[in-house]
């Protein structure tokens, strides 16, 4: 029914030609409509790791696009409760190279909401094959403001007082930063163990800041069942991650920094959508007491090739 509706809708759109400006515009409109329909109709496949902060060495499959929406809820001491949002678009450029783009926003109770910036990152896996420890290099440029509340990473002396700052003031403070990560990952008997070492620097001032994230996860079942199912154990993955700041280049220390411990569960639905949930608990007085993270993502197979086909 829906397919028929779409077919009918496309038939009503004029076909592109080189006859004139109006027809060219109609062509663009048709392509945009086809792309939108493609995004709706493409069969998504399963997501992978359940982590919110920790990166594993698993790369996005080449040509696939994963779209994710990851809101975080928290209430810092002395501030209003907030919702930090992170929308991610992860594309497998090559089997050894993944590119990701993030858009971020924040909504704070009694203060309103704001767009808080974007990030572009690339992950490169330098070694072919699978090893006991698999390194991945991560390079990110971020152009965000201090109202950002996505808590995508914790570095330096980040604390809950930063999150309590009023949005109207914090959004004036620009943060153009370069972030490097060394990601180490291992897979053993169904377990994934991942360790990240983070170095971040504001490009205009301030010293390098450091942080870490470690995580472990495992599916509830190691064997797949023969039929498609919703509540099978193989569709659930549980894990634990810990992350925090390690001071900066002047004071490399864990003192005065915030640290979090977060159990998590992910559920891969047969339709291909993955749901994730993680309550995180602050471990130091500088951390927010509780952060609740929710994630919804799906992966579009062979996205790159299909888009190229559509546009040619």
Q: Site residues (CB under 8 A) for another protein?
A: 45-46, 48-49, 56, 58-59, 61-64, 94-96, 124-130, 134, 137, 139, 178, 180, 187, 189-190, 192, 201, 203, 205, 208, 219, 222-228, 234, 301-302, 305
To the nearest whole angstrom, how small is the minimum distance from the Cβ of residue 61 to another protein? 5
Between 52 and 82, name the residue whose CB sits nearer to another protein.
Answer: 52
Helix 303-311 with 21-41: angle, nearest 10 deg: 160
Between 11 and 228, name the residue whose CB sits nearer to another protein.
Answer: 228
Between 90 and 104, name the residue whose CB sits nearer to another protein.
Answer: 90
To the nearest whole angstrom, how small is the minimum distance from the Cβ of residue 129 to another protein? 4
d(C-alpha 170, C-alpha 108), whole Å: 12
- The DSSP code sequence of 144-170 is EETT--------BT--HHHHHS-HHHH
d(C-alpha 193, C-alpha 133), whole Å: 9
To the nearest whole angstrom, how small is the minimum distance from the Cβ of residue 111 to another protein? 33
Beta partners for 243? Answer: 213, 260
The answer to whether the beta carbons of residues 61 and 95 sit under 8 Å apart is yes
Between 96 and 115, name the residue whose CB sits nearer to another protein.
Answer: 96
To the nearest whole angstrom, how small is the minimum distance from the Cβ of residue 198 to another protein? 14
**Which residues, 6+ apart, have CB-to-CB distance to 178 below 8 Å?**
139, 140, 141, 200, 201, 203
To the nearest whole angstrom, how small is the minimum distance from the Cβ of residue 49 to another protein? 8
d(C-alpha 24, C-alpha 29), whole Å: 9
Between 162 and 187, name the residue whose CB sits nearer to another protein.
Answer: 187
């Amino acid at each position: 029914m829906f397919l028929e509706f779409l077919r009918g809708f496309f038939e009503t759109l004029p076909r592109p030609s080189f006859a004139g400006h109006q027809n060219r515009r109609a062509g663009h409109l048709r392509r945009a409509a086809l792309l939108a329909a493609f995004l709706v109709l493409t069969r998504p496949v399963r997501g992978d790791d359940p982590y919110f902060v920790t990166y594993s060495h698993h790369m996005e499959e080449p040509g696939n696009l994963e779209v994710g929406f990851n809101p975080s809820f928290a209430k810092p001491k002395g501030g209003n409760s907030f919702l930090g949002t992170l929308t991610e678009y992860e594309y497998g450029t090559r089997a050894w190279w993944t590119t990701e783009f993030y858009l971020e926003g924040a909504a704070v109770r009694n203060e309103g909401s704001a767009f808080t910036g974007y990030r572009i990152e690339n992950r490169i896996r330098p070694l072919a094959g699978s090893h006991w420890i698999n390194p991945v290099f991560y390079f990110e440029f971020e152009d965000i403001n201090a109202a950002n509340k996505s808590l995508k990473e914790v570095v330096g002396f980040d604390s809950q007082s930063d999150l309590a700052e009023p949005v109207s003031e914090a959004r004036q403070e620009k943060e153009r930063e370069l972030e490097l990560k060394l990601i180490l990952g291992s897979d053993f008997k169904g377990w994934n163990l991942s360790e990240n070492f983070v170095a971040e620097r504001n490009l205009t001032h301030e010293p390098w800041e450091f942080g870490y994230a470690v995580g472990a996860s495992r599916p509830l079942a190691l064997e797949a069942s023969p039929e498609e199912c919703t509540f099978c154990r193989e569709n659930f993955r549980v894990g634990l991650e810990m992350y925090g700041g390690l001071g900066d280049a002047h004071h490399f220390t864990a003192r005065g920094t915030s640290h979090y411990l977060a159990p998590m569960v992910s559920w891969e639905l047969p339709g291909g959508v993955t749901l994730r949930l993680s309550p995180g608990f602050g471990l130091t007085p500088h951390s927010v007491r509780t952060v609740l993270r929710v994630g919804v993502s799906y992966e579009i197979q062979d996205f790159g090739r299909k888009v190229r086909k559509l546009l040619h």
